[in-house]
Amino acid sequence: MMRAMLTPPSGARLSGQPVKLVDVIRTGGSRADQLQRVETYWDLCSSVADYYLGLREQDELQKLRASVSKVGPTWQQAESELGVRIGTSQRAAVASQYRLASMMGRGGGDSLPLPADLPHCGDYYARFSQVFAGRQSAEAQQLSERRALPGELFVEIPADAFSQINVAVNQKLVAAVTRGAELRKLTTFCDLFAGVGNFALPLSRLGLSGVMVERTPSAVQAAQRAAAEQGLSRLKARTADAARALSDLVREGQRFELVVLDPPREGAPEVVAGIPGLEPRAVAYVACDPATLSRDLKPLVAAGLRVVSVQPFDMFPRTHHFETLVWLEAPPKAGTTAG
């Protein structure tokens, strides 16, 4: 979604050459310089995305106006506010361009940098180990941040690990998952696509025992450090692809009352088919694409799980994108009653 937002629409007035974050960092002379470059690159990405989004909204507004015979003061105010926002975000983008260019020793004009990829994705993700080869305890760990979670917890986020972009809304999302687990009186969990422990750490603090599965080694290490520092001894971790780890867990006879999954935008069709093998009482599926969510829910429902709640979260304000939390429950086993 963010990559699409960084594609310039017609009428965009930003010149420059696309540059990858990996190349921005590579020429940094010190750790402090590298950290400044990462922060400036992200500022550039955000302001460029907001500028392009404003232009697209302006285009849609103009198309809509053409179909309206007369507009009132509210419409005119919206157009005026949008124009101010576009101008402000354009100036912020240019300022970030010049700041980053200065850090990289570039001049102005066509040599100004434009974002070619984003932190936590693309070529930067794939080549992170090449940039920091053999220096994981120095620069790589310094390029991380701590973010607050509900319950006076924190997660540690390395530069090459995924994290939700909207901190405030993410806290609401995490609280909804932990509240759902508490209301259902669940005691064990398996967190697939666990990242840095966004859900696993709070569930552990709640008193559940569980396993987190994540394929990015630095994310697993960060979660383990955060768990140890916060006294969360009930959390185990596996560094593995979700589908492979799920198959191993089922083969080992592992069972979990709760399965949490927050897969990438393309969903997890190869994973959801194996979830019933863990015999969960409940599944919490977090998704950012309604289409792939709908597709992935079908095999879970076919396996006997029932959708009991669907809750949207405005993770990406001023866009049509949103995060969705779906709770599914298994029917009570014979001889038991629903809690």
* Choice among 45, 121, 190, 288 that is catalytic: 288
**Measured CA angle at 267 (ends 266, 269), to 5 deg:** 120
Catalytic-residue membership of 288: yes
C-beta atoms surrounding 229 within 10 Å: 10
Query: Which pair of tokens denotes residue 107?
Result: 């001049």
Cα-to-chain-centroid distance, residue 28: 27
Buried b (16+ CB within 10 A) or exposed e, 120-140: bebebbebbeebbeeeeeebb
For strand 17-19 and strand 113-115, is the pairing parallel, antiparallel, or unpaired? parallel
Cα-to-chain-centroid distance, residue 290: 15
CA 230 – CA 142 distance, rounded (Å): 20
Residue 308 — φ and ψ, nearest 5°?
Answer: -115, -20
Question: Which residues participate in catalysis according to the annotation?
Answer: 288
